[in-house]
Structure 1
Amino acid sequence: MDKIKAGVIGTGFIGPAHVEAVRRLGFVEVVALAASSLEKAKMKAEQLDIPHAYGDYREMLLDPTIQVVHNCTPNYLHHEISMEIIKAGKHVLSEKPLAVSCAESFELLNLAREKRIVHGVNFNYRQFPSVQNLQHMVENGSIGSVHLIHGSYLQDWLLNDTDYDWRLDPKLGGKTRAVADIGSHWCDTVQFVTGKRITSVFADMTTVLPIRKKRISADSEDYEEYKVETEDHASVLLRFHDGTKGVFTVSQISAGRKNRLSFEMNGSLGSAFWNQEEPEKLWVGHREKSNDLLLADSTLFTPEARSSIHHPGGHNEGWPDALKNMMLNFYSYIKEGKDPLKDKPNFATFEDGHASMCVIDAILESHEQEKWVEVKTS
């Protein structure tokens, strides 16, 4: 069988990560790369051994042999570019957040359904083996009825006032930064694991460093002051559709925390805790016996989760492997000719991306109005 041909738009950190993950599948070939300039595209395509480079992604979309396109661009371009990909009749895998507003994500979801293309959002944390295993444990009733969900996603890469990135600019990243960038991952992961939808929120967002120092140029030691309009950290109270309560905190200024997405759920029969920085460990808490530390090993997993782990126990699988699982599930769905309107996917879709975007919009509204806000999905 001929390999599925794919193109990637975007040459920052995540674009090449997509390329690497896709190549690990064996039945997909990345044939084209598009960037903001032809020079940048050619340089990165040569580094990654990709045959075709484009300075305009629209030219790449004209190639009839390309079946799938990855949208790995900054947030503000997600809606525009994904719309063009869908209109070109290509399957699309977008980085998160799906858009910068619930209205935009709703438009994308509707167009994807209308064109019957396969659509995915790279919420790859749900693809970690231990997270997959926990999802089935919850589904099978191992920890009973979940009544409390809490956790955080903590980073430190913007701790200093001299730390700067395009995500600080609302014109490029959207009105929210920490919530959209990492809070979206947290919300998707816990909703996936528990099967519960977030239906209302009460948010408090804080900008700790209202003025930052931005380098005048990449090779300069001189800085100019930059006014920050997005949050450095936020805490959000949650209500789920079945009455379950929750709370989470996101921060990009927590020294020593690199990518610590963690969550705990407390149920009627037990508790469970997972931390992305130690992804091979799942803590399971009990009241009347010793607690368990379940290590990632297919022989210890539920039967439904065993396919998510690919190495023997002790050979710990991490973020790149979760990304590979995302790509494996997405491309296998395409390879098997499944219908996105009929066949249930085992990856996050535009429907999940839209739901996440609506939670983000509600969090923004809640912070601005200082009250509980219902999550509206239409």
Structure 2
Amino acid sequence: MYSSITAGVAGTGFIGPVHVEGLRRLGVRVKGISSATLELAEEARQQLNLEHAYPNFEAMLEDDDLDVIHLAVPNVLHYPMVKQVLAAGKHVMCEKPLAMTSEQGKELVELAAATNLKAGVNYNLRFYPMNLEVKDRLASNDARIFSVVGGYQQDWLLYDTDYNWRVLADQGGALRAVSDIGTHWLDLVHFTTGLEVEAVLADLTTVHTTRRRPKGEVSSFNNEKLRDEDLESIPVTTDDCASILLKFKGGAKGQLFVTQVSAGHKNRLTYDIATQDAAYEFNSERPNELLVGRRDAPSEFLLKDPALLTGLASPYVNYPGGHNEGFPDTFKQCFRSFYNDILAGDAPTGEPPHYATFEDGLRELVICDAIIKSHEEQAWVYL
């Protein structure tokens, strides 16, 4: 059914090809790709076996074959490119964060609302089946939530010689670790629990205030070893790690620790949601597992199995029990939700979409603004 939709992807770095793969697995026709230069686009076209390499982003927008544009480009480009996509009358799936500031985010929400176009933000981690299961259980039990604690840990920026455009405030934004991965956690907690952040108390740390940058850009998660003479020193102001206390509306409390300098943790998102009935513990490095803690009964250790996940998660599980689904599958399932919404058009569905909307993207930008202010003032900041 998705073959009736044609998509284009902007961006040839780490995440652009992931979008291409996820769309193809879903059955969407991905016609072509664009990049900073035609040479980069052509190289990606050949590697991905696509039909077309666009000479620039504007040429992609002029292609009447394309119904949807996926933006997998540096953060600083999200705001202007989203505006261009909407003006061209095409649906848009944008990588997070939605924009560099909440003011930009508000403008994009208003622009999208004035169209009949679908507009999503790729908070793909919602679509691990166990996260959908937790959302389902919390909704059906309607139990009071006491607290949510957890973190997001990576090590790919551990050394001062680790460099990527994300460390630069003018390219990625004033926040880095919080914006890059912390917002995944914040979005996931909102999605699974329905809790809304009311206030934050944040402490940000820049471990490497100076990094040594290669003389020439590198891709994310690039392990290439460079000589000292190939490096130049640059000042860095963005956060390597952060500790954040949260107050949720209704009284629940939260704690979030984010770091990109924690050795051995490659991509580890964790949460523990404590309710009056049970506690739900998830770890993205073991995404097919869910621990459900009990006090007066044996705790459950649930392995992903479509025969056991019959509610919200069921449509987003494609393999039998014992056949693991992981990070690439979350993209496919996120896009499934988004493209289902496109196919539904204006038909009422009776519930909000499961993928993150521009409104969800704006929420994370507003929280990030509060985190920056809280760190600067070393005080609680209410949203």
TM-score using structure 2 length: 0.94
Distance 1:34 1:341 in 2: 34
Q: Offset of 1:320 from its aligned partner?
A: 0.7
What is residue 177 of structure 1 aligned with on the other side?
176
- Report the Cα distance in structure 2 between the residues aligned to 1:342 and 1:317, rounded to whole angstroms: 29
One-letter code of the match for 1:161? D
Deviation, 1:309, is 1.0
Letter in 1 for 2:378: E
User: Could you tell me how far 1:303 is from its partner in structure 2?
Assistant: 2.6
Amino acid across the alignment from 2:341: Y
Mapped to 2, the partners of 1:217 and 1:355 lie a distance apart of 35
Which residue is equivalent to 2:358? 350
2:134 aligns with: 134
Deviates more, 1:208-217 or 1:219-228: 219-228
In the alignment, which residue of structure 1 is the partner of 2:19?
Answer: 18
Match of 1:194 in 2: 193
Q: Does 1:268 align with 2:269?
A: no
- Alpha-carbon distance in structure 1 between the residues aligned to 2:47 and 2:216: 24
Q: CA deviation at 1:304?
A: 3.0
* Alpha-carbon shift at residue 336 of structure 1 (Å): 2.6
In structure 2, relative to structure 1, the CA distance for the partners of 1:289 and 1:185 (3 Å cut) is: same
SS at match of 1:24: helix
The amino acid of 1:31's aligned partner reads K
Q: Distance in 2 between matches of 1:341 and 1:34?
A: 34
Find the aligned partners of 2:286 and 2:348 in 1 and give their Cα distance. Answer: 34
User: For structure 1, which segment, 307-316 or 330-339, has the greater mean C-alpha deviation from structure 2 after superposition?
Assistant: 330-339
Q: Please say if residues 116 and 339 of structure 1, whose CA atoms lie closer than 8 Å, have aligned partners that are also in contact.
A: no
Structure 1 pair 220–307 and aligned structure 2 pair: CA distance change class (3 A): closer
CA contact (8 A) 1:149 1:263 kept: yes
Q: Cα distance, 1:94 vs. partner?
A: 0.1
Q: Is the 8 A contact 1:137 1:302 kept in 2?
A: no
2:342 maps to 1:334: yes
Q: After the TM superposition, which residues 152-231 of structure 1 pair with which residues of structure 2 at under 5 Å, given as runs?
A: 152-217=151-216, 221=227, 222=229, 223-231=231-239
Q: How many residues align?
A: 373
Report the Cα distance in structure 2 between the residues aligned to 1:269 and 1:251, rounded to whole angstroms. Answer: 31
- Contact 1:113 1:340 (8 Å CA) reproduced: no
Which residue is equivalent to 2:222? Answer: none
Paired position in structure 2 for 1:243: 251
Aligned-residue Cα RMSD (Å) equals 1.6
* 1:196 maps to amino acid: L
Deviation, 1:290, is 2.2
Which digits, 9 at most, give the CA deviation of each residue in 1:297-350, with x for residues without a partner?
Answer: 112224332112111101011111111100111112112324699863121111
Cα distance, 1:276 vs structure 2:
0.4
Unaligned segments of structure 2, at least 5 residues: 218-224
Matched, 1:62 2:70: no
Identity %: 42
Q: 1:342 to 1:313 in 2, by over 3 A?
A: closer
Q: Distance in 1 between matches of 2:316 and 2:49?
A: 29
Distance (Å, rounded) in 1 between the aligned partners of 2:372 and 2:281: 28
Residue in 2 that maps onto 1:316: 324
Q: Does the C-alpha gap of structure 1 residues 282 and 343 become closer, same or farther in structure 2, counting only changes over 3 Å? A: closer
Distance 1:220 1:272, change over 3 A: closer
Q: Is 1:44 matched with 2:44?
A: yes
Deviations 1:4-23 (A, max 9, x none): 11111100011000000000
1:239-289 residue CA offsets vs partner (Å, 9 max, x unmatched): 112121111000000011010000001111111100000001100101122
Supply the distance in 2 between the matched residues of 1:278 and 1:335 (Cα, whole angstroms). Answer: 33
Amino acid at match of 1:368: E
Distance 1:330 1:138 in 2: 23
Distance 1:338 1:192 in 2: 23
State the 4+ residue runs in structure 1 displaced beyond 6 angstroms.
340-343
Match of 2:285 in 1: 277
Q: 1:5 to 1:244 in 2, by over 3 A?
A: same
Cα shift readout 1:100-119 (whole Å, capped 9, x = no counterpart): 11111111111001012101
